[in-house]
Amino acid sequence: MTLQELVHQAASLYSDKIAVCFDECNNQPPVYYTYKTVINAASALSNFLLLHCDFQGIREIGLYCHPTINLPSWVLGILQVPAAYAPVDPDSPPALSIHFMKKCNLKYILVEKVHISKFKSSYEALLNYDMLTVEHNDLVLFRLHWKNVEVSLVPNDRKEKYEKGTMTKSMTSESSSEEKSEEHMDVKLKHCLAYVLHTSGTTGIPKIVRVPHACIVPNIQHFRCELPVQLGFPLLGTVVEVRDTNGFTIQEGNGQVFLGGRNRVCFLDGEMTVPLGTMRATGDFVTIKDGEIFFLGRKDSQIKRHGKRLNIELVQQIAEGLQQVESCAVTWYNQEKLILFMVTKNDLVKDYIFEELQKHLPSHAIPDELVLINSLPFTSHGKIDVSELNKIYLNYRDLKSECKLSGKEELWEKLHHLWKSVLSLSEDALKIPDESLFLNSGGDSLKSIRLLNEIENLVGTSVPGLLEILLSSSILEIYNHILQTVFSDKDLTVSKNHAMKRKFSDATQEEASGKSLHQEAVVPLNCDNESNAFIALSRGSQILSLNTDRYLTKLGHCPSTYSSDLNSQTDIQNRESLSTPPLVGKSEDPSCVVEVSEEDTPVIRAEKMEFRVRWRSDTGKCVDASPLLVIPALDKSSATVYIGSHSHRMIAVDLYSGKVKWEQILGDRIESSACVSKCGNFIVVGCYNGLVYVLKSNSGEKYWMFSTENAVKSSATLDPTTGLLYIGSHDQHAYALDIYKKKCVWKLKCGGTVFSSPCLSLIPSHLYFATLGGLLLAVNPATGDRVWKHSCGKPLFSSPRCCLQYIFIGCVDGNLLCFTHFGEQVWQFSTNEPIFSSPCTSASEQEIFFGSHDCFIYCCSMKGHLRWKFETTARVYSTPFVFRNHNHNNEMLLAAASTDGKLWILESKSGQLQSVYELPGEVFSSPVVWESMLIIGCRNNYVYCLDLLGDKGNEVQSLEYT
């Protein structure tokens, strides 16, 4: 059985059903292909390739393209030849791709027409002799020539040394397999290979991995036949062994994990045949005790940087291979900065070395700093002295901060240099146009933070408001903003105002004016009416109940947990035990969680829960907003999910059935999460066009629109005592809105863009706002007067969260900060990467949960001490949600999402993994849980409602206050 045969099986059953959906994110509807269309396009490409390709030896065809609607057809067409599919990423450094293609000895490559110029300029040396170019629809077929082509990924002497060492290791690790079986898998067999990839290079030089159909098809069959997969056990046909240093399998003691199986084997680098049953070393070292496996660590010196694994030795190998570098060392300073120390023949080579590194290394491997030194320091044992290198870096950083710019002309020149460096543009590139925007030039949120740090290091001082300028303004306006800050005492001529106002091209004149479309009488506020009793749930376990005491019995919840008609979740005194030891969860294998006891011994445990899709609703574009769930007290069955999308749509969906109750098209993208009014009759949401929309909750009809001067990505917060709604805007202001009188009660200039959502404390009566300028503000909610402010130094994307004693917020410097309600900082807890996730507190106010870009979910005590952390498979952007699991002795659970689409259910006291589920797209939305249902948005355009099932198929209850 092959991959293409699996596709043809599905096509024979579902010929006219949708097989592929692709969204270009260009404000156009997604495009769809049926199975019939995919198969026909693939067959046409297969016939074309058979006509023009003359295969000798291994059949492999490269594909140089970006993802499009045609990609599945192209891959299938290659497989049907039959040939192996070898992807070549247009965005990868050419040196890496050449290394990959030459190691494969790739003869043919299909290039997407739109990338022809880039391909020819990057790989000109491969196309000089007898160039074959034949066109087929949107593709061009090239024949590659490897004569006299050098691959300079690392110097030849190191390369030979590495390859000899690799061959020795390979022979040692596989010797026992040779003895076990005389049967071999032959890479040259016509239908053997499915695809060819290369490893990340975590052990030095990237290896070529040729994957046979026999190795990948069982995975698909396993998941088809055994849903859900019984986690904690190997996949179909896979064998796991632990071997000692002599290569013998052990049942007790320390050793390395080996993976394999009779047919579960790939071809590495130049291997042509591999014995069936070959076992491969994983580089993971463990100890076995009483039949349980305890993780000890990795073989190689890996770190996690920008959400990806990196071996710092690879950076050192590449740098040492550069002509100008005599010797070098790499350190991971404070687990936050990658520093390259170099002994060089020329003091003026920094720019050259940065350029060369960007040609040979992926973006997550580029060092933060290059430090030139006279000689490397060594310990008495002849090893690099890392502590001495750290001292050298500290001195270097102090000297660097003392350097002052000589004038604005030098600033303009160095700003261009930093711009090109952070965006990986060559210094020889064309002049950067004055109107260039950072995000449109290939920048993103992490790169903008790096550029911010570089600029502030350059000028030797912090530049208030710089991040929002970087994200929204041109390079000329960025330059002018820095000039006004750094050279404010000089007579400066500013050619443009950096504070450009947003144009509202998508909003009607009536919308932009903030006037109501319907000027009928104001809807009365009937908060005492029984029909207005409801519970509202939003991200971060925020629970608002209005007039619900007498109806909690109907909802199946105990009223004794409520002291009044109005409670937030943090008012609930449900004290929990604090005796659980700290844990560290590892998700390298999502089938298990690693528990660390007081003796720091990890124990692998199986998962306990399952997910099942109840419904999903297509919004037409990415869903980054988080859901708002409103449950009427009188009719629980009419519970509604409100959520917006980048398609401009705001939708209301029935919680239980998934039926869309109404849909309203707003003026631009929606990233703001909805908020319900005090009476329950309205839903309030911000929009990219600068408007705050007030919609009728039962119909979606526009009731009132309020205009700010820039995009509104902040989510509104309700004051349950007054009914006022508070919200921030990218126009650097905070607003208090009375939606019943249709007016703005107060407006406050915050000194920076307000991206995150405000947080209201009833005792004391404070409203908290955070800005991208790094300010945390406490405001009087009645008057809008500022009570206090604190500068956190770096941008605040995270929303503040308060409890009875403290306010918490995450910062892009990687710290979670804790303050009293009087503005005094109590503590800070450091992670390895920026925190965009907002904190979430437990009902007992004993723990606080949050995620970080370092790919961990954290649990801290209210004193800032780590309780546990759990490693996910990608960055954690969204906010966790705490809920109760009644199927397991009233334990509390935590739902969280990582950006790669994985949903994690953890036991909140220990961090132990209960279940993991992967959505088919990136996730920046935060989960909300009610009863047995988890609701979340996904970047594949859908809103999902997933049932949580216990280990016996029972539904899991969710409300903390039950």
Among residues 783, 782, 880, 874, the alpha carbon closest in space to that of 540 is found at 880
At 284 the three-state DSSP class reads strand
Give the whole-angstrom CA distance, residue 483 versus residue 462: 12
CB-hemisphere CA count at 13 Å for 738? 15
pLDDT of residue 218: 85
pLDDT of residue 497: 37
The partner residues of 593 in beta bridges, in order of sequence, read 605
Overall pTM > 0.75:
no
Cβ atoms of residues 684 and 654 within 8 Å: no
Cα 597-603-608 angle, rounded to 5 deg: 110
Residue 276 identity: L
pLDDT digits (tens, 9 = 90+) for 133-171: 788 889 999 988 876 665 555 444 444 434 444 443 433
pLDDT of residue 517: 33
Give the whole-angstrom CA distance, residue 99 versus residue 101: 6
Cβ atoms of residues 331 and 390 within 8 Å: yes
Among residues 607, 580, 584, the alpha carbon closest in space to that of 595 is found at 584
Which one of 174-178, 400-404, 520-524 scores highest in mean pLDDT?
Answer: 400-404
Q: Which residue has the higher pLDDT, 564 or 496?
A: 496
In this structure, the number of other CB atoms found within 10 A of the CB of residue 412 comes to 14
pLDDT digits (tens, 9 = 90+) for 340-371: 998 886 665 676 787 788 778 877 788 888 88
DSSP-derived secondary structure for 766-823: EEEEE-TTSEEEEE-TTT--EEEEEE-SS---SPPEE-SSEEEEE-TTSEEEEEETTS
pLDDT of residue 677: 94
Give the whole-angstrom CA distance, residue 263 versus residue 274: 10
Chain centroid to Cα 948, Å, comes to 23
Among residues 839, 848, 905, 821, the alpha carbon closest in space to that of 878 is found at 839
pLDDT of residue 579: 30
At 405 the three-state DSSP class reads coil
The partner residues of 109 in beta bridges, in order of sequence, read 62, 142
pLDDT at 816 > cutoff 60: yes
Cβ atoms of residues 856 and 570 within 8 Å: no
Average pLDDT over all residues of the chain: 79
At 730 the three-state DSSP class reads coil
Q: Residue 513's pLDDT band (boundaries 50, 70, 90)?
A: very low
Positive or negative, the CA dihedral 158, 159, 160, 166 is positive
Radius of gyration, CA atoms only, the chain: 29
The DSSP 8-state label assigned to residue 249 in this structure reads B
H-helix or E-strand spanning residue 388: helix 386-402
Inter-residue long-range contacts of 289-293, CB under 8 Å, 24+ positions, other chains counted: 289/252, 292/603, 292/604, 293/242, 293/604
The partner residues of 253 in beta bridges, in order of sequence, read 288
Residue 765 identity: S
pLDDT digits (tens, 9 = 90+) for 585-627: 333 333 333 333 333 333 333 346 788 999 999 999 999 999 9
Give the whole-angstrom CA distance, residue 131 versus residue 124: 11
Among residues 891, 961, 901, the alpha carbon closest in space to that of 936 is found at 901
Among residues 904, 900, 811, 915, the alpha carbon closest in space to that of 857 is found at 904
pLDDT at 84 > cutoff 70: yes
Give the whole-angstrom CA distance, residue 93 versus residue 530: 65
Rounded to the nearest 10 degrees, what angle do helices 350-360 and 94-104 cross at? 40
pLDDT of residue 418: 84
Average pLDDT, integer, range 746-772: 92
Q: Residue 735's pLDDT band (boundaries 50, 70, 90)?
A: very high
Among residues 509, 511, 512, 436, the alpha carbon closest in space to that of 475 is found at 436
Q: Which residue has the higher pLDDT, 877 or 236?
A: 877
Percentage of the chain modeled with pLDDT above 70: 77
Cβ atoms of residues 122 and 106 within 8 Å: no
pLDDT at 765 > cutoff 80: yes
Residue found by looking up tokens 């800070």 in the block: 828
pLDDT of residue 810: 95
Cα 96-102-105 angle, rounded to 5 deg: 145
pLDDT at 427 > cutoff 50: yes
Give the whole-angstrom CA distance, residue 581 versus residue 88: 47
pLDDT of residue 298: 59
3-state SS record for 543-606: EEEECCHHHHHHHCCCHHHCCCCEEEHHHCCCCCCCCCCCEEECCCCCCCEEEECCCCCEEEEC
pLDDT at 469 > cutoff 90: no
pLDDT of residue 406: 65
Residue 341 identity: F
pLDDT of residue 676: 95
CB-hemisphere CA count at 13 Å for 932? 17
The DSSP 8-state label assigned to residue 839 in this structure reads P
Q: Residue 511's pLDDT band (boundaries 50, 70, 90)?
A: very low
Structure tokens at 213: 């159909």
